[in-house]
Structure 1
Amino acid sequence: MTRKVRRRTLMLGIAATLLIAGCSGNGGSAASSGGNGLEKPTIKVGAMPIPDPASLHIAIAKGFFKDEGLTVEAIPITGGAAAGPQIESGALDISQTNYVSTFLAVSQGKKFKLVADMYQAGPNAYNIMVPKDSPIKTVADLKDKTILVNNFRNIATLAVETQLKVAGLTEKDVKYAEKPFPEMGNALQTGQADAAWITEPFITATQSKLGFRKIADTMTGQTEDLPIAGWMASDDWVQKYPKTLAAFQRAIAKAQELASNDRKEIEAMLPKYTRIDAKTASVITLGTYPSALSANRLQKVADLMLEYKYLKSPIDVKSVIAAQTDG
């Protein structure tokens, strides 16, 4: 009798263990792959030290990624266009990108997907600037002059060309030279170029410290409220890590919403990941922070690129956007 009781107790114990394991669902997987069963619980995300990717740093600081079981390491990059090779090599999982560079890369056969929105233009956030003593007064005066941009054939040159068109000029009437944003002020001061396409915080910095003048807001007319930047991953990465992607999308959307509704959150964050001090952060001009990708809004960028011959054929933007999913 005692033997039967022991055997029955043993069998009940085994059954209880199996029941607990079964009820835990993906519990074993979650333990081995990180919180919430993510395929890749730690990822590297490329971002420039400018206001555009503020929501990434807000999401890290507020624990939005942590709530999703995701650890995000922010990796500084020099430009959205330069992130493509790092995405392809796997050095970065997700990266900041500007939409012009992304659509251009996709048109050349690159397998990239846009996974979340980041930044949309606002008035006076992307200006053509000249030194205070420059003879250049209008965009028409840029004929035969050299303009600094952060990258060739990207959002900078496209934005400039929309303003050249209004002034009766084309890209053939000017010269472009590449220079990182932080170096543009000194380059203009020393005569290396005649004008520069500058974004914040460098607009405010060159105005206050060097007396630079604005000759054009490049986000007017055709480019008013133009979508500027988003988050990008490779198509293979998107397919391989759907739960990780979904966790990133949820957390970044939450941070975008916070950024769009409370400028103080952005002002508090900027000094922590950029060289923007608190005083400058409180006065710089900012664009907007959309919470979700909109194919209709982004199609405007692709159509503009087609008009200015950045693209040889139309792009259906819907095909470049990764599906929003719960993983």
Structure 2
Amino acid sequence: MTRKLRCHALALGVTVALALSGCGGSDNTATTAGNGSGLEKTTIKVGALPVPDPVSLYIANEKGFFKEEGLTVEPVTITGGAAAVPMIEGGQLDISMTNYVSTFVAASQGKKVKLVADMYQAAPNTFNIMVPKDSPIQTVADLKGKTVLVNNLKNIATLAVTTQLKVAGLTDKDVKFVEKPFPDMGNAIMSGQADAGWLTEPFITATQSQHGFRKLVDTMSGQTADLPIAGWMATEEWASKYPKTLAAFNRAISKAQQLASSDRKEIEAMLPKYTKIDAQTASVITLGTYPSELNANRLQKVADLMQEYGYLTSPLDVKSLIVTPASNG
């Protein structure tokens, strides 16, 4: 749960959170109600990565969906979802993108975070293990004793790979996971630093075209088919303090998610405006899906999978983390 493109993508690593944990912040973007909108706060800062997942944030801004709600949203580029936790705690961000693995780990550690809207769900071939075209590795079982690159350790990347290792009769102890930013994986594998890499778009397409890489396995299959990947989070305190603002954000995001889901051209047109993905690449990459509302049953699947593989030490009731936005105020 990264970006220079997908650099810290989704995995949005836990380690970087520590580097930012000392950051404080003032609530200087707050605007009290009285301007006719009825919102407790009319300008908010929202953290997002320059990757396809949060495209609805930018669609909602460009289409005026936030303005229709009386809300001004200022996107802030972050390095990862876990890094955003101290930023929302400190007040530098009001709402932020996060991946669900990072969120559930944070919640299990006592962090008072809440999920406020859905964002991105895996689809076939959106997160693949890739190998060079002439690699002797032909099956997942062949990864035994090999080095696999992931963008973050002990997160969605390693969890997804481990589920595929299990199918092949292996465990995470049978491979060596090494952390490497997505943009660097192709060259690292080509130079012999690793044998395979867990990649997402646009890097799946990039390594195929530049190096002739081939797919070893789609890690979003079997146990992880259609796995929820990323969403929007806020602190429990913020969600309680600004319920009308949150509801306005949620309505606009939901509207943009529905547009993204129904018209891929909207996504293709937006990606070059806030990522390093050019128009040609945007037209061919494989995308996941964009759910318009949080579904506790879908998200519980992630938490249960995390417990099965030791990412959580006890059961987590996902419903307790979901905020139901207030109705129109």
- Contact (CA 8 Å) 1:35, 1:41: kept in 2 or not? no
CA deviation after TM superposition for structure 1 residue 249, in Å: 0.4
Select which of 16, 20, 33 maps to 1:30. 33
CA deviation after TM superposition for structure 1 residue 79, in Å: 2.2
Partners of 1:135 and 1:318 in 2: CA distance: 45
- Contact (CA 8 Å) 1:101, 1:153: kept in 2 or not? no
- Contact (CA 8 Å) 2:33, 2:41: kept in 1 or not? no
Q: How does 1:217-228 map to 2 (within 5 A)?
A: 217-228=218-229
Partner of 2:61: 60
Partner of 1:74: 75
Q: Which amino acid aligns with 2:322?
A: I
| Gaps in structure 1 of 5+ consecutive residues | 1-27
TM-score using structure 1 length: 0.88
1:139 equivalent to 2:132? Answer no
Change (3 A) 1:252 1:131: same
- Contact (CA 8 Å) 1:119, 1:290: kept in 2 or not? yes
Partners of 1:295 and 1:109 in 2: CA distance: 20
Partner of 1:45: 46
Partners of 2:174 and 2:271 in 1: CA distance: 37
Partner of 1:290: 291
Q: How does 1:79-118 map to 2 (within 5 A)?
A: 79-118=80-119
Matched position secondary structure for 2:166? helix
Q: Which amino acid aligns with 1:106?
A: A
CA deviation after TM superposition for structure 1 residue 242, in Å: 1.0
Q: How does 1:142-181 map to 2 (within 5 A)?
A: 142-181=143-182
CA deviation after TM superposition for structure 1 residue 35, in Å: 5.5
Change (3 A) 1:35 1:94: farther
Instruction: Give the CA RMSD over aligned residues.
Output: 1.5
Partner of 2:9: none
Report the identity percentage. 76
CA deviation after TM superposition for structure 1 residue 42, in Å: 1.3
Matched position secondary structure for 1:44? strand
Partner of 2:269: 268
CA deviation after TM superposition for structure 1 residue 261, in Å: 0.6
Partner of 2:200: 199
CA deviation after TM superposition for structure 1 residue 278, in Å: 1.0
- Contact (CA 8 Å) 1:140, 1:167: kept in 2 or not? yes
Partners of 1:29 and 1:209 in 2: CA distance: 52
- Contact (CA 8 Å) 1:35, 1:70: kept in 2 or not? no
- Contact (CA 8 Å) 2:243, 2:325: kept in 1 or not? no
- Contact (CA 8 Å) 1:78, 1:180: kept in 2 or not? no
What CA deviation, in whole Å up to 9, does each residue of 1:191-231 have, x standing for no partner? 22221111111111111112111101001000111111100
What CA deviation, in whole Å up to 9, does each residue of 1:20-62 have, x standing for no partner? xxxxxxxx9634xx56122221111111111111111100110
Matched position secondary structure for 2:271? helix
CA deviation after TM superposition for structure 1 residue 322, in Å: 0.9
What CA deviation, in whole Å up to 9, does each residue of 1:128-147 have, x standing for no partner? 11122322221111112221
Q: How many residues align?
A: 298
Matched position secondary structure for 1:123? coil
CA deviation after TM superposition for structure 1 residue 116, in Å: 0.1
CA deviation after TM superposition for structure 1 residue 73, in Å: 1.2
Matched position secondary structure for 2:216? strand
CA deviation after TM superposition for structure 1 residue 304, in Å: 0.7
- Contact (CA 8 Å) 2:32, 2:41: kept in 1 or not? no
What CA deviation, in whole Å up to 9, does each residue of 1:81-119 have, x standing for no partner? 222222222221111111111111101111110000001
Partners of 1:100 and 1:76 in 2: CA distance: 20
| Gaps in structure 2 of 5+ consecutive residues | 1-30
Matched position secondary structure for 1:100? helix
Partners of 2:92 and 2:145 in 1: CA distance: 40
Matched position secondary structure for 2:118? strand
Q: Which amino acid aligns with 1:118?
A: M
Partner of 1:16: none
Which shifted more, 79-88 or 99-108? 79-88
Could you say which structure has the larger radius of gyration? Answer: 1
Which shifted more, 77-86 or 241-250? 77-86
- Contact (CA 8 Å) 1:158, 1:308: kept in 2 or not? yes
Moved over 3 A (4+): 28-31
TM-score using structure 2 length: 0.87
Q: Which amino acid aligns with 2:138?
A: K
Q: Which amino acid aligns with 1:135?
A: P
